[in-house]
Amino acid sequence: MDLRNTWDKWPDANGRFGEFGGRYVAETLMPLILDLEKEYRAAKLDPAFKAQMDDMWAHYVGRPSPLYFAERLTAHFGGAKIYFKRDELNHTGAHKINNCLGQVLLAMRMGKTRIIAETGAGQHGVATATMCARFGLKCVVFMGEMDVERQKPNVFRMRLLGAEIVPVSSGTGTLKDAMNEALRDWVTNVDDTFYCIGTAAGPHPYPEMVRDFQSVIGTEARAQMLEREGRLPDAVMACIGGGSNAIGLFHPFINDEGVRLIGVEAAGHGIETGEHAAALNGGRPGILHGNRTYLLQTDDGQILDAHSISAGLDYPGIGPEHAFLRDTGRAEYLSCTDDEALAAFQLCTRLEGIIPALEPAHAIARLGDVVAGMDKDGLLIMNLCGRGDKDVFSVAKALGVDM
């Protein structure tokens, strides 16, 4: 099949991106996700819904975020021009709020009064709790027991915002278990509850819906680049855990065949060690959390724990659209180890005066290789999807600094 210029036609009616995606959920949830899909289709076409989103984006989230020419990093690497899409300047400090805003407005439209969410590092939990505070909705956040311990400041933030935190001790007590527990809550509370998934994964329509809400990143970046440089970039680049910030940047460029799409996965201690979170580079297709996608798993199909210094990338799967873009060759997926991300974190801080989150530090770490392979007058946009305030403690620890 010739896919050129039809990349934006996915998913199909069955929620599939090629052979990935789908609706792999228990029967109890099927009527709910079918209903959600119907409601989302209606909202997408409703000018009032869009107007409400636009208003909140402009006056509450702080959009559009700037497109910034990273002059000193560009000089440092000596290759193509590097631009940062500054999504770390959003309210709550990351791209997560773009999606939470959309889902919470949709939940209210559907008459739901209770929002549940899973969170790893706490960024999606904080963004969800923020929107629930703003609109006066009940918020319950599921978080692995280990993460509750590691991310105390975000736990406190969520509580300040009025959310109930449920520490999850089942399984291995990490993000995937928090997602399992959120699904268990959802099958139990089917009438009043809306599940606000934090990444572009899960059963259809979540991968499409989250992508659409996050596509504000790429839509703005595309227009900003055209205005700044008078042409499209040669490459766009982002880190990938579940992949919501990356798909949000990629998607508005997806039919621009000349624009390379580059994702960077977390290689943890190195893919060869088995301790990583690189589902595309070190996993194989399987079924988890409602979709068919690349997963870290044993030979027997049991899901493995991911590892990354960045809690936001620490997930054994990846959004199904990325699996599709990889297998079709439309996007490229690189990886970056914990140590490389730590070095990039410091480099960006020193050269640009921007403390990035550890997640985008993974993309920063691969910038040198990517721009070296491009023309000097080439243009690249990297999504700086989160700020690093939340990470200063773990970075200090990794660097052996006693705070």
Partner 1 sequence: MPTSRITARFDKVKAENRAALVAYLMAGDPDLETSYACMCALRDKGADIIEIGAPFSDPMADGPAIQRAGLRALARHTTLIDVLGLAARFRETDQETPLILMGYANPVHSLGYAAFAEAAHAAGIDGTILVDLPPEEDAELRAEYAKHDISVIRLATPTTHEARMAKVADGASGFIYFVAVTGVTGAGSADPKAIAGNVDMVRRVSGLPVCVGFGVKNGTQAAEMAKIAEGVVVGSAFVEHAQSAHESGDFAAAPRGMGALAGELSVAIASVAKL
Q: What is the binding site for partner 1 (CB under 8 A)? A: 14, 22-32, 170-171, 176-177, 179-180, 183-184, 187-190, 285-290, 292, 295, 297, 299-303
> DSSP characters for 119-187?
ESSSHHHHHHHHHHHHHT-EEEEEEEHHHHHHTHHHHHHHHHTTPEEEEE-STTSSHHHHHHHHHHHHH
Cβ proximity to partner 1, 139 vs 303, nearer residue: 303
Sign of CA dihedral 35, 41, 46, 48: positive
Backbone angles phi, psi at 291, to 5 degrees: -140, 155
Cβ proximity to partner 1, 195 vs 250, nearer residue: 195
Reduce the DSSP state of residue 315 to 3 states and report it.
coil
- Beta-bridge partner residues of 333: 263
Cβ proximity to partner 1, 14 vs 353, nearer residue: 14
Alpha-carbon distance values, 288 to 183, 262, 296, 333, 347 (Å): 12, 24, 10, 21, 37
Provide, rounded to whole angstroms, the least separation between the CB of residue 188 and partner 1: 4
Provide, rounded to whole angstroms, the least separation between the CB of residue 310 and partner 1: 22
Backbone angles phi, psi at 15, to 5 degrees: 75, 25
- Report the DSSP pairing between strands 138-144 and 164-168: parallel
Cβ proximity to partner 1, 26 vs 401, nearer residue: 26
Cβ proximity to partner 1, 208 vs 359, nearer residue: 208
| Burial category of 391 from C-beta neighbours within 10 Å (exposed 0-12, middle 13-18, buried 19 and up) | buried
Provide, rounded to whole angstroms, the least separation between the CB of residue 183 and partner 1: 4
Provide, rounded to whole angstroms, the least separation between the CB of residue 293 and partner 1: 11
Cβ proximity to partner 1, 305 vs 340, nearer residue: 305
Provide, rounded to whole angstroms, the least separation between the CB of residue 229 and partner 1: 45
Provide, rounded to whole angstroms, the least separation between the CB of residue 364 and partner 1: 32
